[in-house]
Copies of this chain bind each other. A is one copy, B any other.
Amino acid sequence: MARLELRKVGKTFNNFEAVKSVDLTIEDREFVVFVGPSGCGKTTLLRMIAGLEDITSGDLYIDGERANAVPPDKRGLAMVFQSYALYPHMTVARNMGFALKMAGVPKAEVEEKVRAAARILQLEPLLDRRPRMLSGGQRQRVAIGRAIVRNPKGFLFDEPLSNLDAALRVQMRIELVKLHQDLAVTMIYVTHDQVEAMTMADRIVVLNQGHIEQVGTPLELYHQPANLFVAGFIGSPKMNFFPSRAVAVGRGDATLELSPNHALSFPVPSGMSPGALAPGASVTLGLRPEHLFLANDGPLSGQVDVVEHLGVETLAYIKAVNGEMITVRADDLSPVAAGDRVSIALHPGRGSLFDAGGKAIFHLSPA
């Protein structure tokens, strides 16, 4: 059991507000990822939950009890550090058993628990090695093992995969998700990498400049971003943004002027409240690369600047007539080449519209 509640939690370092009044509830057994650009306060928030930083304002409740003043080791949470933070002079087994030994647990019991954790993580052949003799992935596993041994009710991960290479990162993130399924405990995971957030989280918390931009499942954030920040942060390549002006708003669609003499008709959901989009309003149309396709005849056009062949798909970066770059995702057999003049069409019923303040007005989703 570990249900965490943050009520108006804030952190100030020397007059700098690193975290601004965060309200968040993390349910028991949830896998929550804090994601955001560097300096957004995600690590500070995690460290406050861990107890490694004092909470400047607000309250933290763990399983209903206020934990602001509870020392880190009494919170029932284990942390896995970005640098792994293994004790370099101890063997893997001693690293994993250190907390129990310090707590006075009998030696036989420590050994048994270490062995059990090592079995889960396939570390058994490495128990007698020193950290420096291990590869990055193995160290990562030992760090997780050290957390498991304490049998915590929650795990805190601080960018644990950022020191691994791309292939290993893919593998480890699958292992972590499986570990979450097996252990059935709460996990909070901090990363700056939106792909990790998307692939691992039950729920993602997007942070920016110390406050929460949006909380939701990966697909909610991808398909219904609350604002331009989330829309631009989640997804790679980035969503295309077209700053435009609503010229006319009808019942089923609106006319958007992307640039002078370049208008576009865009569907409007029937449920939209009448005042949400007024003619003349400045808006931003957001279309992901897969919401666009190369067609013989489309409302947008430009010259292909760069083509990236990824095998399974092709990305075309197109310089539009007005100078903006448009990214289009095409399939792996698309014959597009750099220098081609192309025309771009919109997949119907996809895309988002944002108001002048960056807030989402509506999202179109496939039926």
Name A's B-contacting residues (CB within 8 A): 38, 165-167, 170, 173-174, 177-178, 181, 192-195, 198-200, 218-219, 222-223, 234-238, 288-290, 305-306, 308-312, 315, 317, 329, 332-333, 338, 366
Contacts and interface: CB of A to CB of B under 8 A. Distances in A.
B218 A311 contact: yes
Given A199-B308, A199-B315, A289-B312, 7 more contacts: A166-B193, A167-B236, A167-B238, A174-B308, A181-B338, A235-B312, A333-B366
A40 to B, nearest CB: 12
Nearest to A192: B165
Number of copies: 2
11 contacts: A166-B236, A174-B305, A178-B305, A181-B306, A181-B338, A198-B311, A218-B311, A219-B309, A234-B311, A235-B312, A288-B312
Contact of A199 (B192, B289, B310): B310
A198 B308 CA distance: 7
B165 A236 contact: no
Contact of A311 (B173, B178, B219, B308): B219
Contacts of A238: 167, 170
Contact of A312 (B38, B167, B193, B290): B290
